[in-house]
Structure formats: C-alpha cells, structure tokens
C-alpha cells in the first residue's frame, strides 16, 4: 500500500481537505524508479484498471484494492511524466464502465475570477460558481463550484454517487473560500447537493446557492441545467428597449400577477397552468385589457407556497412549479412577441432559515449577519443579508444581472426596500446597532442598492428598477450620481394608503377626510412614482378592493370602485393593478386557488373590468396622460377645497397646454350639478364617465360633453356646468371652439 494510513483514513471518513493531493495521477519515485501513482475512490466497484489512452493499443494497468470501501491504487514505473488515462471499472453487478477520472483535471476557476469575486466585483460570477456543463480537453462533464470558506471538507453528492460524500470530495482553492470539482460524464438533469463538513465536524447537506433549477420539496435538490439553450426570437423587442433607455415618461400600465392563482385547470385536479399555458392566455388577456407590462410575483425557487415566493431558497432558479427554466424563457419570449414587458419581483432583503439553503451555509453566518440585531428580520422570521461582505454583495448583484441576462426581463421590482434602508426597521430601542456615524441608516445596504441599480442600467440599458419603498427616504428614484439610490421608479405607498382610507369611509363622512385626496400632490413630483393597488392590499383581512369601499350594497361598492379607478388612471404616475382587482373580485386573494373569473358574468364586476380596459386605452393613447406623469407642469388643480361636495377636479395637460383633460371626481352620495372653471373656451368632450350603463352605472351623464360659458369660476374666466351622479369620475377633453 502506497497511500499513507492517515490519508486513507481521511478519505474513508470523508475528512480529507485536499483530495486532489492523493486521488488522481501523481509523479512518484519508488524503488529508484521514476513513475506515477494513480489512485481512485469509487462507489460499488469490484475491480479497476488504468487505461493508458495514448498507447497503441491502449494499455491496461490493473489497480490494487487497498480498502474494501472502494479505494484503488497502482504504481506505474518507468514513466517520467503523467499521461492521458481513463479508469475502467467493473462493478459488483458485472457492469463495466470506462470513464475519465475527476481528479485529473485542472481547476475551472482562475486567479482573476477568484480575486474579483472576493473583491465583490465579479458581476457574472453566476457563470463560474454553481454547476455548469463544460468540456475540458474535449471531455464533457459538469463543473461544480461553491463558496464556503469555513468548511473543512466539501463533497458534491447525487444519484451518481449514491449521495455518499466520500466519493467526490472537492478541491479547495485556498484563501478564496471557493471549492470546485469537474466530474466528467455527468450531464443535464443530474440531481446534486453539497455535503459540507464544518469546523466542528458536523455534516450539512446544502443546496447550491447558484443552482438554476430545483426539484420539488421536500428534497429540494439542485438539477444540472443548461440555461442558455433556449433560442430567443425577441431581437426587435430588445433593440427597441435599448433605444428607449432613459425615456421613462411613457405609458406604463402594469398587471401584477401571481402565476399560481391567476387561472387553474379544474378539470386536471385544479393544477396551476404551466409557463407555456400562462404565456398564451395571459398575453391574450393583458393585450385585450390594454396593459403594457406584466409584473410577476417572485418566481425564484421557494419551498413553501404560502410565502407567495418571498422566502427564497434558490435565488438563481425559476420555480419548478410551472415548468423548466427553458419554459420560463418561452414565457418571456412570447409576452415580448405580444408587445408586453415582463417585470420580476426580486427579493434581496432577506432569506429564510431553512436548513438546506443559505442559513449558516458552511456552519458559520456566511450570508447573514452573525449578530441578530443586524441579521434577524423581526417581522418575517427570516435572515438579513450581510451587504458589507464582498462575496455576499457579489452574489446578489450577479443575481439581479443573471435574471436579466438569462431571461431577458424588462424590469426588477425590488421588494421591501424600506427594511433594507434602516437598521432600526421594525425594531425597538436596544434591538439594533447604529452605523459608524451613530445613525439609523444601513449604509452598506444603501451602497449595495446604488451599485445594483447602476450595474443593471450599465449592462442592460432600458431595463427598469422599481422600489417598493414605504417611507420618505429621499432620492429613491434619483440617480446615484446625484446622491439618490438610482431606481427608475418608486411605488407610491403614501397615495395608496391615503386614497384607500378615504374611499373606505361612507360618503356622508368623507367631507372630514378630504385631505386624504389632496395631500399626495404635495410630494407627487419628489419621486418618479408608480400608483399602485397591489396584492398587499387584498390579503390578511384587509378585504378585497371592492369590499373596502365605504358602501353597503355591491352595486354601490362597484360605483365607488369605478370612480376610484378612473381617478387613479387620471392621476399622475405609472399604473399597477393586482390581478382580480380589475374585475372587482369580492373575496380576498388566495394563493392556492384561481381567481373568481365567473364573476365577470355579472354586470357589477364586468363593468369594472370594461372600465379598466377603457382606462388603459385612454391612458396609452393620450400622451398627455401617459407621457406627462413626471412633469409638474402637466397638472393643475381646478378644485381641491370643496370637501362639502366630496369633489376634486384637476387638469392634465402637456406643458404648453395644447391638449387638455379636465378630471372631475365626485365621491358623494347624491347627484350634483356643479360648475367647473377651465382655462380654455370651447367644447369639452366627455371621453369617460364611470356612471355609463356600459360600466354598470345608471347612464346619467353630460350628453357627450359641455360647452364653456363666460362665467368666472375657480380663478378662470370661463367654466362649464356638469352633471355628476353619485360616486362618479368624469373625464373631459378640450376640443376646438364648438
């Protein structure tokens, strides 16, 4: 036996930290003869030979079993250098296989790769770490690489080695903390995990942080997958997107969707639709409804359906629930072919404590802060990323770029930004650690957000980054070069909360809450806002949008909701509406069942849907509404103080006021005749009235429009008189003198 007893024992106990120093082929001087020793550790093998490939004919060198567990070795003398070889193994069942030795290949990562990763600047580390189909020296196989600096030993395990960590221990690449191994002969579809021995001798079985495809729970193994094999056909779309980079003020109406509950297949055990089924049906519906973008709730792999995707365990993998990564690429490609952008809800604020995923990955607090005052999320029971650690920041930045690179996404909506910005978020006094200046701002997270926004815009011009940020943190949608966070857009949570609070009141008391309608204009142009009613507004006992309305009967609630939606679409800001809200679903959203599409057979619900469709068409066809959302010169109050009438009126226009829209929202409970002052003589055509019979209203309106009269009102020398039914918003467009 040539191998030392210490090395043999370490191999057999899966404790060897440097397996490449003993396994494979190595030069050896023995009995004054220069030769090589070849050593292998194989599962289920009875006998093994070394096949010398360049000999003519190929020469076999029988190996000696030095341990019954499968350790073989042979000394081949009179060989001054190593040579090309394969192992020829005979298994206990008589099967014979010949294959390349995993321990005869050089590392798949170079010093520059590792340096940039440890520095936090390898923006495409997802092409290096994880599992990748490669050919080394024309030998096909799979390379595995994982960052775990505190591990004492790591093996890749899978069906190919009976999930036994003794047989494929990985090579440590020194101080980088990266471990790697190339396994020839493996291919796409192989299941694997990393078996990690920590410094205390404990064994951890972890999924790949960079895995691109996963099997379902409870096993959650990563699956070797080629994410680059899909053939895209959206070149024209991508060219147009690049050409529009920086042109933010254009129509954008977003339909937010949870793919698992938009529609299901009741005839097939009520299963969710697949990515490909969803692509066709969702595109047909969204195009008909006039939406410009689809925003999907988080699709990164997650083990628990009830988290809605917000507790991610596979940050680089589209969830298996609806198909393969190739199917997801088809989904995006098809939506692009129909003229729809695709935005992904991205979750870099936290991750769950599941033992198979990132938490204490190598036996230490690797991805999260060790101090629970910094690393524990108080609201969600999750862990917070250590944004100050270079490799963690690299993981997250590369993750954002990977979704855009691999799947051609048009935007990232970044979840829970407020929780990232503040060290004392949802914490009591003494439960948080101030920053180096003694403040509450999370400086490392702020720097991370600026970097990821800048790099997204650098590598993918035209892609949007959108912040879900609920505080008054300054400059969220301001460029980082000007001191902002660098997002393109920000959800307008303040407007949403104020407006819902107002509409939840009964009409008779709304006069006391009029400021809820008007306060938002004080800060409307401080950020580039998206006006939203998202999934968060229709869960956890908050009631559906329909049942939030301050009325007793469905028909009246529907009238309230129609008036609210018309006000929302006319108000400055891009638009976002969660699925089901567009047809006034009665119940709260449930993640595990289909929307109640049957409600569209009833006028109160179908009327709301038809209104939303017309609002989208008006918004996208009129530049005054769709291309002046961020222009403060495009908005002017006509009436904002008449709380007794429960009425607001405002003007939307281009800066030169060549095109004018007057929006009148009457949110009281009785019909009114009301005079509105306007800046232009002529005929004001009624282009939309939420009381139309077409939408389920009574039909009372303004006979197609009103001519102005020389009656001073609201600071203007002319005005017109409008008929305003209860709970109605009407939109008028100025035309030439009648």
**Radius of gyration of the chain measured on its C-alpha atoms:** 32
Residue 437, domain member (yes or no): no
What domain count does the chain have? Answer: 3
pLDDT tens digits for 414-461? 999 999 999 999 999 999 999 999 999 999 999 999 999 999 999 999
* pLDDT (average), residues 698-716: 94
Residue 376, domain member (yes or no): no
Strands 464-467 and 411-414: parallel
Q: What is the pLDDT of residue 167?
A: 95
CATH number at residue 50: 2.60.40.10
* pLDDT (average), residues 7-11: 96
| Peptide bond between residue 474 and the one before it cis (omega within 30 degrees of 0) | no
Give every CB contact of residue 294 below 8 A, 6+ residues apart in sequence: 254, 255, 257, 282, 286, 335, 340, 341, 342, 343
* pLDDT (average), residues 531-546: 97
**One domain, residues 83 and 116:** no
In angstroms, rounded to a whole number, what is the distance separating the alpha carbons of residues 411 and 340? 12
Give the CA distances from residue 95 to residues 47, 694, 729, in Å, rounded to whole numbers and listed in that order: 11, 74, 78
Residue 736 has pLDDT above 90, yes or no: no
Domain end position, chosen among 51, 78, 104: 104
Q: What is the pLDDT of residue 81?
A: 84
* Percent of the chain at pLDDT exceeding 70: 100
Residue 738 has pLDDT above 60, yes or no: no
**One domain, residues 12 and 88:** yes
**One domain, residues 87 and 11:** yes
Domain end position, chosen among 104, 122, 149: 104
Residue 488 has pLDDT above 60, yes or no: yes
**One domain, residues 658 and 727:** yes
Residue 660, domain member (yes or no): yes
Give every CB contact of residue 164 below 8 A, 6+ residues apart in sequence: 43, 157
Check residue 274 and report its DSSP letter.
P
Residue 553, domain member (yes or no): no
Residue 405 known to be catalytic: no
pLDDT tens digits for 145-187? 999 999 999 999 999 999 999 999 999 999 999 999 999 999 9
Q: How far apart are the first and last CA of the chain?
A: 105
Q: How confident is the model at residue 201 (pLDDT cuts 50, 70, 90)?
A: very high
In angstroms, rounded to a whole number, what is the distance separating the alpha carbons of residues 22 and 154? 16
Q: What integer best gives the mean pLDDT of the chain?
A: 96
Residue 294, domain member (yes or no): no
In angstroms, rounded to a whole number, what is the distance separating the alpha carbons of residues 160 and 144? 14
Residue 536 known to be catalytic: no
pLDDT tens digits for 262-303? 999 999 999 999 999 999 999 999 999 999 999 999 999 999
pLDDT tens digits for 358-385? 999 999 999 999 999 999 998 899 999 9
**One domain, residues 161 and 186:** yes
Active-site position among 468, 469, 606, 614: 468
**One domain, residues 214 and 160:** yes
* Percent of the chain at pLDDT exceeding 90: 95
Helix, strand, coil percent values for the chain (each to nearest 5): 30, 30, 45
CATH number at residue 640: 2.60.40.1180
**Interhelix angle for 603-621 vs 275-289, to 10°?**
80
Q: How confident is the model at residue 737 (pLDDT cuts 50, 70, 90)?
A: low
Check residue 527 and report its DSSP letter.
S
pLDDT tens digits for 119-138? 999 999 999 999 999 999 99
Of 78-92, 254-268, 273-287, 317-331, the least confident: 78-92
Give strand pairing partners of 403.
none
Q: What is the pLDDT of residue 655?
A: 85
Domain end position, chosen among 73, 89, 104: 104
- Residue 665, domain extent: 633-734
Active-site position among 180, 405, 415, 686: 415
**One domain, residues 675 and 709:** yes
Residue 720, domain member (yes or no): yes
pLDDT tens digits for 554-565? 999 999 999 999
Question: Which residue, 213, 54, 251, is CA-closest to 130?
Answer: 213
């Amino acid at each position: 036996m040539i191998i030392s007893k210490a090395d043999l024992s370490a191999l057999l106990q899966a404790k060897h930290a440097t397996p490449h120093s003993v396994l494979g082929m190595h030069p050896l001087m023995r009995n004054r003869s220069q030769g090589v020793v070849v050593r292998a550790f194989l599962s289920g093998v009875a006998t093994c030979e070394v096949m010398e490939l360049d000999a003519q004919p190929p020469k076999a060198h029988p190996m000696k079993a030095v341990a019954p567990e499968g350790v073989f070795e042979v000394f081949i003398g009179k060989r001054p250098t190593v040579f090309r070889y394969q192992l020829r193994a005979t298994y206990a069942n008589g099967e014979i296989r010949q294959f390349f030795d995993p321990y005869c290949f050089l590392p798949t990562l170079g010093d520059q790769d590792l340096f940039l990763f440890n520095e936090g600047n390898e923006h495409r580390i997802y092409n290096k770490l994880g599992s990748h189909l490669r050919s080394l020296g024309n030998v096909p196989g799979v390379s595995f690489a994982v960052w775990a600096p505190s591990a004492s030993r790591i093996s890749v395990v899978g069906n190919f080695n009976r999930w036994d960590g003794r047989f494929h221990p990985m090579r440590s690449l020194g101080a980088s903390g990266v471990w790697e191994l190339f396994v020839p002969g493996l291919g796409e579809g192989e299941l694997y995990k990393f078996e990690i021995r920590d410094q205390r001798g404990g064994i951890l079985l972890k999924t790949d942080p960079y895995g691109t495809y996963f099997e379902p729970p409870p096993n959650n193994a990563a699956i070797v997958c080629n994410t680059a094999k899909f053939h895209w056909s959206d070149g024209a779309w991508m060219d147009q997107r690049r050409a529009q980079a920086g042109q933010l003020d254009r129509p954008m109406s977003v339909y937010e969707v949870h793919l698992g509950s938009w529609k299901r297949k009741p005839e097939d055990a009520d299963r969710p639709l697949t990515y490909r089924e969803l692509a066709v049906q969702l595109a047909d519906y969204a195009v008909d409804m006039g939406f410009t973008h689809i925003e999907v709730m988080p699709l990164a792999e997650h083990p628990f359906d009830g988290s809605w995707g917000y507790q991610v365990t596979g940050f680089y993998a589209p969830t298996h629930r609806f198909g393969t990564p190739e199917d997801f690429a088809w989904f995006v490609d098809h939506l692009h072919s129909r003229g729809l952008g695709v935005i992904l809800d991205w979750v870099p604020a936290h991750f769950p404590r599941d033992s198979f995923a990132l938490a204490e990955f190598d036996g230490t607090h690797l991805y999260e802060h060790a101090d629970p005052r910094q690393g524990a999320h108080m609201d969600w029971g999750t862990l917070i990323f250590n944004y100050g650690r270079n490799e963690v920041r690299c993981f997250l930045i590369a993750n954002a770029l990977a979704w855009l690179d691999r799947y051609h996404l048009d935007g990232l909506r970044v979840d829970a930004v407020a929780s990232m910005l503040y060290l004392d978020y949802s914490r009591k006094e003494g439960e948080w650690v101030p920053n180096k200046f003694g403040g509450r701002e999370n400086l490392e997270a702020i720097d991370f957000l600026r970097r990821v926004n800048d790099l997204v815009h650098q590598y993918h011009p035209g892609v949007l980054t959108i912040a879900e940020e609920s505080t008054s943190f300054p400059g969220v949608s301001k460029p980082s070069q000007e001191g902002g966070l660098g997002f393109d857009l920000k959800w307008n949570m303040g407007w949403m909360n104020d407006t819902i609070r107002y509409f939840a009141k009964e009409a008779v008391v709304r006069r006391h809450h009029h400021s809820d309608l008007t306060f938002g204009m004080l800060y409307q142009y401080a950020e580039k806002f998206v006006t939203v009613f998202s999934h968060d507004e229709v869960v956890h006992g908050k009631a559906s949008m329909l049942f939030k309305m301050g009325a007793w009967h469905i028909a009246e609630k529907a009238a309230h909701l129609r008036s609210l939606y018309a006000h929302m679409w006319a108000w400055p800001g891009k638009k976002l509406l969660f699925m089901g809200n567009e047809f006034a679903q009665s119940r709260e959203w449930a993640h595990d069942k289909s929307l109640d599409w049957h409600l569209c057979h009833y006028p109160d619900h179908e009327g709301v849907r038809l209104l939303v469709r017309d609002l989208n068409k008006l918004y996208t066809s009129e530049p005054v509404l769709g291309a002046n959302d961020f222009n403060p010169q495009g908005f002017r109050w006509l009436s904002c103080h008449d709380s007794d009438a429960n009425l607001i009126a405002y003007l939307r226009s281009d800066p030169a006021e060549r095109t004018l829209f007057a929006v009148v929202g009457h949110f009281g409970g009785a019909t009114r005749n009301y005079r509105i002052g306007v800046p232009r003589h002529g005929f004001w055509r009624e282009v939309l009235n939420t009381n139309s019979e077409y939408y389920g209203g009574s039909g009372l309106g303004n006979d197609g429009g009103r001519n102005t009269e020389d009656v001073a009102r609201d600071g203007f020398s002319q005005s017109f008189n409008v008929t305003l039914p209860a709970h109605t918003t009407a939109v008028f467009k100025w035309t030439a003198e009648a």
